[in-house]
Structure 1
Amino acid sequence: MDNLAAVSAFLRSRRDKIAPEQAGLPAYGQRRVPGLRRGEVATLAGVSVEYYTRLERGNLRGVSDSVLDALAQALRLDDTERMYLYDLARAAGPAPGAGARQREVRPTVRPSVTRIVEGMPELPAYVMNNRLDTLAANPLGRALYSEMYADPSCGANVARFAFFNPAARRFYADWERMARFAVGALRIEAGKSPYDRELSNLIGELSTRSDAFRVMWGSHDVHVFRQSTKRLDHPLVGVLELDQETMSLPDESGLSVVVYSAPPGTAAEDGLKLLANWSATTGPEQDADSTSEPSNRRP
């Protein structure tokens, strides 16, 4: 990822979102463009207009933490956006040598993590990296995402599934929200790992093949997967309203364990039991239109 361009576009996009009134500044007359002017951001951050202009051109090399904090406050950044700004500033430092990049290793799922995921047979669970690849899943996790695993073009990647497979727009009841979160998560990772070739290739592929991804990527919004409630319309058992928890592993691997659950006594709990039974007797390898699918699909 081009760090200068990413910094410049991110700062401009945040500046454009803030009305003068939100920043406690007077607004005189009609403005030709939305948001704050550079001089107003500079005043709020306590730096000169010339210095802020340099920052907005993408040059964050050597910028102190105090200036970054002032800039984050002036632009009203949330915690995720602030973290992204700091990642961009770190990436603005000297690039690692070619040898260092070649020594980068792909994180692997430790056997102990696999045992944890496999030890939750009644809950869909999988291990995901920061590129949104699912590296391991228990049987119910594979059954829940059976359409993704059945599509070789997805490569078991949640972002590819969301933007390339038409079934995803039905599977995710709020597809727009989920897609924006996926894009925002990839942008966060691009800020952390600007020299990750696989990540760059993935973003390039998504940008080339999906107009929707291109538009969302251009918004420069950032997101982190945490707890959320998702409505998933599974082709076999119907709509499931599930709680999703994303737990980062306490190491430098960048891996997370994602687990879905349903409140006791709900239709979603019944749906998961039905899906688990199908997974145990048939398996997600079968096509979703298989004659062995449950006959009591929930609406």
Structure 2
Amino acid sequence: MGSPLGDFVRAKRDSVQPESLGLPERGRRRSPGLRRSDLAARAGISVEYLTRIEQGRDRNPSVAVVNALADALSLDRAERGHLRYLAKITGGECVAHARPEPLSRDVRPSVLETLRLLEPGIAMVTNRLGDVLAHTSAFEAVASGSGLLDADAPNLTRYVFTDPRARSFFADWDAVADEQAFDLWHAPSVESSEWFSTELAPAAGTEFTRRLNRHVVPARGDLRLHHPSGCGLRLTRETLELSSDAQQLVVLLPADEETAQAVDGLRGRPRGRLRVIS
């Protein structure tokens, strides 16, 4: 049985080309990427110890070892943060949990007031599971016709992986799918992430499970949408972490003049007020 930490280290090792680290070419290999012996040498640990980490048999590497692996793999800042997070949860869980209580869908009044002040901007409150908890009327206009908000309790992750309309709504569906799968690792709790992943996997299939276990740290560029009305939208995302609530306030800003004009047109359609989803 593996572990999230071991899966990530192995995936990164497979993705690194030896020549990118200044290592000599050693002929054809059966598998791509960096040899386990080369990574162990760069990190200053034994091959046996690295094997135990990758296979999930050692779940409590020291901070020094985690940092050494990050250096040896030349991880960027985001990847280093993810490696440290996986080391933390791998050492404290990796056992089966009972189904947890449903997450609270409550949004604090002060956050709702902030959302009201953002009207007529495009904004929503969500969490790492993808639950859309509240949104502005402009967000509803942008999402209109896509199916994203059709459910009584809309969830972006479930929509991306199970609704066929998502593949046409998101111009860069692959990137969005990677983001939603990655964010489950940083869900409000390990238990809630495991429960949600287990519930979603049968409906979402291999597209979901494969992305979840790849541990690809997403770049999160502009969000490009193909609105059902026919217009194309390019939106810049700004995210405010509401850490005490395990929620995020996401604001979407038009990235170009064409998008700004298109959003103005969508806002002109009949729409409701700020919506809170309980």
Q: Under a length normalisation based on structure 1, what TM-score does the superposition of the two structures give?
A: 0.80
- Would you say the 8 A contact 1:72–1:82 is kept in 2? yes
Corresponding position: 1:45 with 2:43: yes
Measured against aligned partners, the alpha-carbon deviations of 1:50-79 in whole angstroms (never above 9, x if no partner) come to 222222222454422121111011122222
- Kindly report which structure 2 residues correspond to 1:101-140, keeping only aligned pairs within 5 A, or say none: 106=104, 108-140=106-138
**1:21 Cα deviation from its structure 2 partner:** 1.1
- Structure 1 or 2, whichever has the larger Rg, is 1
- Structure 2 counterpart of 1:280, from 260, 268, 271: 271
Distance 2:222 2:3 in 1: 34
Against the structure 1 CA distance between its residues 69 and 104, is the aligned structure 2 distance closer, same or farther, given a 3 Å change threshold?
farther
Corresponding position: 1:204 with 2:202: no
CA RMSD of aligned residues (A): 3.2
- Structure 2 counterpart of 1:216, from 211, 219, 224: 211
Against the structure 1 CA distance between its residues 254 and 112, is the aligned structure 2 distance closer, same or farther, given a 3 Å change threshold?
same
Distance 2:34 2:170 in 1: 36
Moved over 6 A (4+): 101-105, 281-284
Against the structure 1 CA distance between its residues 41 and 168, is the aligned structure 2 distance closer, same or farther, given a 3 Å change threshold?
same
Across the two proteins, how many residue pairs are aligned to each other?
273
Measured against aligned partners, the alpha-carbon deviations of 1:98-117 in whole angstroms (never above 9, x if no partner) come to 9xx97996373211111111
Distance 2:254 2:21 in 1: 42
Distance 1:269 1:174 in 2: 20
Distance 2:245 2:154 in 1: 19
SS state at 2:268 partner: helix
Distance 1:112 1:88 in 2: 32
Structure 1: segments with no counterpart, 5+ residues: 285-299
Against the structure 1 CA distance between its residues 30 and 281, is the aligned structure 2 distance closer, same or farther, given a 3 Å change threshold?
closer
Q: Which residue of 1 aligns with 2:190?
A: 194
Corresponding position: 1:243 with 2:215: no
Against the structure 1 CA distance between its residues 110 and 162, is the aligned structure 2 distance closer, same or farther, given a 3 Å change threshold?
same
- Would you say the 8 A contact 1:185–1:223 is kept in 2? no
Distance 1:203 1:95 in 2: 16
Distance 2:61 2:136 in 1: 45
Q: Percent identity?
A: 34
Against the structure 1 CA distance between its residues 218 and 103, is the aligned structure 2 distance closer, same or farther, given a 3 Å change threshold?
closer
Against the structure 1 CA distance between its residues 271 and 183, is the aligned structure 2 distance closer, same or farther, given a 3 Å change threshold?
same
Q: Which residue of 2 aligns with 1:93?
A: 91
SS state at 2:129 partner: coil
Against the structure 1 CA distance between its residues 106 and 83, is the aligned structure 2 distance closer, same or farther, given a 3 Å change threshold?
farther
- Structure 1 counterpart of 2:29, from 13, 26, 31: 31
Moved more, 136-145 or 36-45: 136-145
Distance 2:218 2:197 in 1: 16
Against the structure 1 CA distance between its residues 105 and 60, is the aligned structure 2 distance closer, same or farther, given a 3 Å change threshold?
farther
Structure 2: segments with no counterpart, 5+ residues: none
Q: Under a length normalisation based on structure 2, what TM-score does the superposition of the two structures give?
A: 0.85
Against the structure 1 CA distance between its residues 148 and 76, is the aligned structure 2 distance closer, same or farther, given a 3 Å change threshold?
farther
Measured against aligned partners, the alpha-carbon deviations of 1:266-297 in whole angstroms (never above 9, x if no partner) come to 2211221222221437999xxxxxxxxxxxxx
Distance 1:39 1:104 in 2: 45
